Amino acid sequence: MQRRQLLKSTAAFSAASVLGAPAIAQAPKKITFLTWNLVHLEAPLKGWIAGFTKSRPGVEVEWVDKKGPELPAYYQTQLAASTPPDVIDIQGALGLEYAAQGALLDLTPRLGAEAAVKARYEPAYLSNWVFEEKNYMVPYYVSKTLLFWNKTRFKEAGLDKPPASFDEILSAADKIKGGEKTGLLTLNFDWLYWPLMQMNGVDLLTPDLKKAAFNTPKAAEVMTKLAEATKSGAINPISWTGRWVEPNDAFATGNVGMLHAHAPAFFWIKGKGPWINGDTLGAAQMPGNWATPNSHGLGISKGSKNPDLAWDFVKYLTDMEVASAFAKIASVLTGSKEVDKASLARFQKDDPLAFQVLSTQLEHTDKMCGNWRLGNDSRIKDGFWPEFQSAMLGRKDAKTALGDAERRVSRELRRA
């Protein structure tokens, strides 16, 4: 009798323990967090992960970091093996491509169920990862292009303010060129050069994204002007051959009048250009306030075995405390409204030039371009960019390049 009572008592205690324990602690749970070239933030990232797991007994977060060129191949390999990382940090339109492949979890229901979480994000940046009316990622750290201008080179050319139109850009570049000096550099990857086309009314695709729309007389005119300016030395040819290091390093020498790039370029060139300060460098919107975003988002793999925990982790990384610490350490804007408001106030006090640069990132977000919601963005880019580049470098005339690009892009659109 005593033994039966003991067994019953033990069973009752066990049941109560299980029922009373938090659901997340009933069994060990593990998620993997894949980041894009954030190894330099190892110490704080591990600290934030420790903070997350400390308040969630039985939870483990494995952190994996890959360099930009390595990450897409790594993720595709993990997808093929049915072991995708639970939470991923992805740049630009790759998130849309993974969404189109069915690799990412649709976050729309979760954002709909938690209005306060959705409200924390700047809507224009949040919408960058909407594919077929579903949101697959939330902002992690955000940026868009702007125009840096070398005030010293401008003063030498008799100029005292940034250009207000496409023709003024080319005119200023032409006045600055000479000897080792050139007038303009632009970054070109991920459609970052597209504001030069958009400010002239050139659209890549029709509004329904079904057909090419760029093969027009106006586009030919714009490309011809850019190619001629490149040939003359007004535009630095590195604009069309470099990627990140080369154009930024060229501008950091102080011999270039303008750099069209996104905000992270500021911290790169500032570290390499001893001439840079508030009296010598200006930051402005491109004419028409056009800009191309190049932001990082957080998504959850559809194959995650613990999607609720993964979502909990995404919310944790973008809440006020952790996102504020991230913004301060990495000198970035996060796309979280309250966090960025506080960050800009800090920069305004501590680094007025950085404040001037970063302020452009939250202005005119309704004028972002080059961020078409395409599930085959890289293939469209591979159809257009080589032909555009050939025209810029004088290998083809603009009309021929546009015709060849239209055939290549149209082929990809039909495949989609």
The domains spanning 7-143+294-353 and 145-292+376-415 adopt the same CATH topology: yes
Is the predicted pLDDT of residue 388 greater than 70, yes or no? yes
Asked if 86 and 61 count as a contact pair (C-beta separation under 8 A), the reply is no
pLDDT tier, 188 (very low <50, low <70, confident <90, very high otherwise): very high
What is the pLDDT averaged over residues 255-279?
97
State both tokens at 238. 């590195």
pTM score > 0.85 for this model?
Answer: yes
Average model confidence (pLDDT) for the chain?
Answer: 93
For residue 113, the cross-strand partners are none
Q: Domain ranges in the chain?
A: 7-143+294-353, 145-292+376-415
Is the predicted pLDDT of residue 5 greater than 90, yes or no? no
For 145-292+376-415, which CATH class?
A: alpha beta
H/E/C letters for each residue in 41-108? HHHHHHHHHHHHHHCCCCEEEEEEEECCCCHHHHHHHHHHCCCCCCEEEEECCHHHHHHHCCCECCCH
Residue from 125, 173, 101 nearest 335 by CA:
125
Is the predicted pLDDT of residue 18 greater than 90, yes or no? no
CATH value of 7-143+294-353 in 3.40.50.720, 3.30.960.10, 3.40.190.10, 3.90.1150.10: 3.40.190.10
If one counts every other C-beta atom within 10 angstroms of the C-beta of residue 142, the result is 27
How far is residue 240's CA from residue 243's CA, in Å, rounded to a whole number? Answer: 8
CA angle centred on 243, ends 241 and 246, rounded to 5° = 80
Burial 352-384 (b: 16+ CB within 10 A, else e): ebbbbbbbbbbebbebbbbbebbbbbbbbbebb
